[in-house]
Structure 1
Amino acid sequence: MSRRAGLDRGAVRAVAGLRPVLAAARRATFEGGATRVAVGAGGVGLAVALVAVTAAGPWADGQRVAERNWAAARDGAGRTGRTPATAPSAPPVLAGLGPGLSPQAVPLPTGQGLDNALSPLFDDPALGAVRAGVVLDAATGRQLYGHAPDAPSTPASTTKIATAVAALQSLGDDYRIPTTVVPGAAPGGIVLVGGGDPTLTARPTPPGTDPDATPASLSDLADATARTLKERGWTKVQLSYDTSLYTGPLLHPIGVDPNIAPVTPLMVDEGRVDPNSTENAPRVADPADSAAQAFAGMLRDRGITVDGDVRPGSAPAGEEARLAEVDSMPLSALVERMLTNSDNDIAEALARQTAISLGKPVSFTGGAQAISEELGRLGLPLAGTSFNDGSGLDRDDRLTAQLLARLLYTAADPAHPQLRPVLSGLPIAGFTGTLSDRFSGATSDAAGLVHAKTGTLTGVNTLAGTAVDADGRLLVFAFMASGTQNATNAVTALDRLAATVTNCGCR
Structure 2
Amino acid sequence: MGPSRWRRSTHAMVAASVVALVAVVVAVVAVFTTGGNTGNAQVPAARPPAAANPGVVPVSDSAGAPTAAGVAAALAGPVADPNLGDVTGRISDAKTGEQFWEQRAGMPMLPASTNKMLTTGAALLTLARDERLTTTVVAADQTRQPGVVVLVGGGDPILSAAPPGEETWYRGAARISDLAGQVRKSGITVMAVQVDNSLFSGPDFAPGWDPADISGGDIAPIQSVMIDAGRTQPTTDESRRSTTPALDAGRALATALGVDPAKVVFAPGPPTGRQLASVQSAPLIERLGQMMNASDNVMAETIGREVAKATGRPLSFAGGVDAVTSKLASAGIDMTGATLVDSSGLSVLDRLTAKTLDEVVGAAAGPNQPAMRPLLDLLPIAGGSGTLSDRFLTGDVKTSSAGWLRAKTGSLTAINSLAGIVTDASGRVLTFAFISNDAGPMGRIAIDALAGTLRTCGCGA
Q: Look up the SS of the partner of 1:248 in the other structure.
A: coil
Q: Look up the SS of the partner of 2:110 in the other structure.
A: coil
Query: Residues 435 and 307 (structure 1 numbering): CA distance in 2 closer, same or farther, change over 3 Å?
Result: closer
**Is 2:56 the partner of 1:96?**
yes
Q: Distance in 1 between matches of 2:199 and 2:123?
A: 17
Match of 1:181 in 2: 137
**Is 2:90 the partner of 1:134?**
yes
TM-superposed deviation, 1:460: 1.0
Match of 1:62 in 2: none
Query: Residues 490 and 478 (structure 1 numbering): CA distance in 2 closer, same or farther, change over 3 Å?
Result: same
Q: Distance in 1 between matches of 2:235 and 2:19?
A: 41
Q: Which of 290, 296, 312 is the matching residue for 2:266?
A: 312
Q: Percent identity?
A: 39
Contact 1:176 1:327 in 2 (8 A): yes
Deviations, residues 281-324 of structure 1 (Å, cap 9, x unaligned): 32222111111011011122xxxx67993221156477x65322
Q: Distance in 2 between matches of 1:402 and 1:12?
A: 22
Q: Distance in 2 between matches of 1:474 and 1:314?
A: 55
Match of 1:407 in 2: 360
1:72-471 matches, cutoff 5 A: 96-97=56-57, 100=58, 103=61, 105-128=62-85, 130-187=86-143, 188-204=147-163, 206=165, 213-227=171-185, 229-230=186-187, 234-253=188-207, 254-256=209-211, 257=213, 258=216, 259-279=218-238, 281-300=239-258, 309-314=263-268, 316=270, 321-442=274-395, 445-471=400-426
Q: Distance in 2 between matches of 1:481 and 1:125?
A: 11
Q: Distance in 2 between matches of 1:175 and 1:153?
A: 33
Contact 1:12 1:102 in 2 (8 A): no
Contact 1:336 1:421 in 2 (8 A): no
Query: Residues 443 and 147 (structure 1 numbering): CA distance in 2 closer, same or farther, change over 3 Å?
Result: farther
Contact 2:15 2:59 in 1 (8 A): no
Q: Distance in 2 between matches of 1:309 and 1:119?
A: 63
Contact 2:198 2:270 in 1 (8 A): no
Q: How many residues align?
A: 415
Q: Distance in 1 between matches of 2:354 and 2:52?
A: 33
Contact 1:446 1:499 in 2 (8 A): yes
Contact 2:381 2:406 in 1 (8 A): yes
Query: Residues 307 and 290 (structure 1 numbering): CA distance in 2 closer, same or farther, change over 3 Å?
Result: closer
Contact 1:238 1:306 in 2 (8 A): yes
Match of 2:434 in 1: 479
Match of 1:83 in 2: none
TM-superposed deviation, 1:11: 1.9
Q: Look up the SS of the partner of 2:243 in the other structure.
A: coil
Query: Residues 316 and 247 (structure 1 numbering): CA distance in 2 closer, same or farther, change over 3 Å?
Result: closer
TM-superposed deviation, 1:360: 2.0
Contact 1:13 1:102 in 2 (8 A): no
Q: Distance in 2 between matches of 1:308 and 1:433?
A: 38
Query: Residues 404 and 205 (structure 1 numbering): CA distance in 2 closer, same or farther, change over 3 Å?
Result: farther
Contact 2:91 2:432 in 1 (8 A): yes
Q: Distance in 1 between matches of 2:229 and 2:278?
A: 19
- State the one-letter code of the partner of 1:242: D
Contact 2:114 2:417 in 1 (8 A): yes
Q: Distance in 1 between matches of 2:261 and 2:72?
A: 70
The 10-residue stretch of structure 1 (281-290 or 442-451) with the greater mean CA deviation from structure 2: 442-451
Deviations, residues 326-351 of structure 1 (Å, cap 9, x unaligned): 11111111111111111011011111
TM-superposed deviation, 1:422: 1.9
TM-score normalised per structure 2: 0.83
Is the radius of gyration larger for structure 1 or structure 2? 2
Contact 1:271 1:284 in 2 (8 A): yes
Contact 1:135 1:405 in 2 (8 A): yes
Q: Look up the SS of the partner of 1:176 in the other structure.
A: coil
